[in-house]
């Protein structure tokens, strides 16, 4: 499927979704919102894909909403967030495979929300996350009001949001926002290398660990404990479990194809 504002590449069980509006630092217009909905659903539903990478073309991950768009067909911001952006967030968060944000330059506004909604993040040393909304007298959206305090704590999150301060790659690594930091020149290579390693791991382990850890953010300890027991019981002695155990004793990599 061809998109006007997004590129998709699939290779070796890894799908790369690249936001492709480099002339405006990958700012979100209506077309990009619809394209990202379809692109994320496409890779979510593709059983041949085990890992997804979300990135931006050119010098940015995304600078946020395209404020120059004059003909957007939303009935206010609420409609844009619920009918426009929300399905893409749901696809990223609920798909049973890890999604890696590969971040160069700014991930600002709704772009920051998408970067943080992903499961993992690789950042170039020039990258930063920015809740820019207060600069235009608005509040963080796209879930940033939930995501930022989870990583930074309330006081720091509030500070960075109301002052619209950049969280640079070094700080992101310190706060746990970034998993890895690399150079601009190696960002794509390092992200693909990590994705390829993850794609060789057990799909059921990746999917169920994501499910459990996502749900743990709103569940109690004992609710999570119960879910672990039920899922573990269903996976024990499964074909993937048996293959991994055999591979362990044979001192080789398991094959989950």
Q: Are residues 92 and 216 in the same domain?
A: no
Q: Are residues 21 and 57 in the same domain?
A: yes
* Domain of residue 35, CATH code: 3.90.226.10
DSSP lists the bridge partners of residue 7 as: 18
DSSP lists the bridge partners of residue 121 as: 101
Taking the C-alpha atoms of residue 147 and residue 170, their distance in angstroms, rounded to an integer, is: 18
Taking the C-alpha atoms of residue 27 and residue 63, their distance in angstroms, rounded to an integer, is: 5
What is the full DSSP assignment across 75-97?
Answer: SSHHHIIIIIIHHHHHHHHHSSS
Q: Are residues 135 and 212 in the same domain?
A: no
| Domain range for 128 | 6-199
> Mapping DSSP to helix (H, G, I), strand (E, B) and coil, where does residue 131 land?
coil
Structure tokens at 233: 């019981």
Q: Within a domain: residue 257?
A: no
**Each residue's pLDDT tens digit in the chain (257 positions)?**
789 999 999 999 999 999 999 999 999 999 999 999 999 999 999 999 999 999 999 999 999 999 888 777 889 999 999 999 999 999 999 999 999 999 999 999 999 999 999 999 999 999 999 999 999 999 999 999 999 999 999 999 999 999 999 999 999 999 999 999 999 999 999 999 999 999 999 999 999 999 999 999 999 999 999 999 999 999 999 999 999 999 999 999 999 98
> Mapping DSSP to helix (H, G, I), strand (E, B) and coil, where does residue 187 land?
helix
Taking the C-alpha atoms of residue 28 and residue 36, their distance in angstroms, rounded to an integer, is: 10
Q: Within a domain: residue 14?
A: yes
Give, in degrees to the nearest 5, the angle at Cα 88 between 82 and 89: 80
Q: Are residues 148 and 235 in the same domain?
A: no
pTM score, whole prediction: 0.96
Q: Are residues 191 and 213 in the same domain?
A: no
């Amino acid at each position: 499927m061809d998109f006007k504002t997004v590129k998709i590449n699939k290779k070796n069980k890894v799908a790369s979704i690249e936001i492709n509006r480099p002339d405006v630092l990958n700012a979100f217009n209506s077309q990009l919102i619809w394209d990202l909905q379809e692109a994320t659903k496409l890779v979510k539903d593709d059983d041949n894909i085990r890992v997804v990478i979300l990135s931006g073309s050119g010098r940015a991950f995304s600078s946020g909403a395209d404020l120059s768009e004059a003909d957007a067909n939303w009935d206010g911001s609420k409609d844009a967030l619920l009918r426009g952006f929300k399905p893409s967030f749901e696809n990223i968060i609920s798909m049973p495979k890890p999604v890696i944000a590969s971040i160069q330059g700014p991930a600002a506004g709704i772009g920051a929300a998408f970067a943080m909604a992903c499961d993992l993040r690789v950042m170039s040393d020039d990258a930063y996350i920015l809740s820019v909304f207060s600069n235009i007298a608005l509040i963080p959206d796209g879930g940033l009001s939930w995501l930022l305090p989870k990583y930074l704590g309330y006081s720091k999150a509030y500070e960075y949001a109301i002052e619209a301060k950049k969280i640079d790659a070094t700080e992101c690594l310190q706060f746990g926002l970034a998993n890895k930091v690399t150079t601009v020149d190696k960002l794509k290579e390092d992200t693909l290398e990590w994705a390829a390693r993850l794609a060789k791991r057990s799909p059921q382990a990746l999917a169920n660990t994501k499910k459990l850890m996502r749900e743990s953010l709103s569940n109690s300890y004992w609710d999570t404990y119960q879910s672990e027991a039920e899922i573990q019981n269903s996976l024990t002695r499964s074909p993937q479990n048996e293959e991994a155990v055999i591979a362990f004793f044979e001192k080789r990599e398991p094959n989950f194809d």
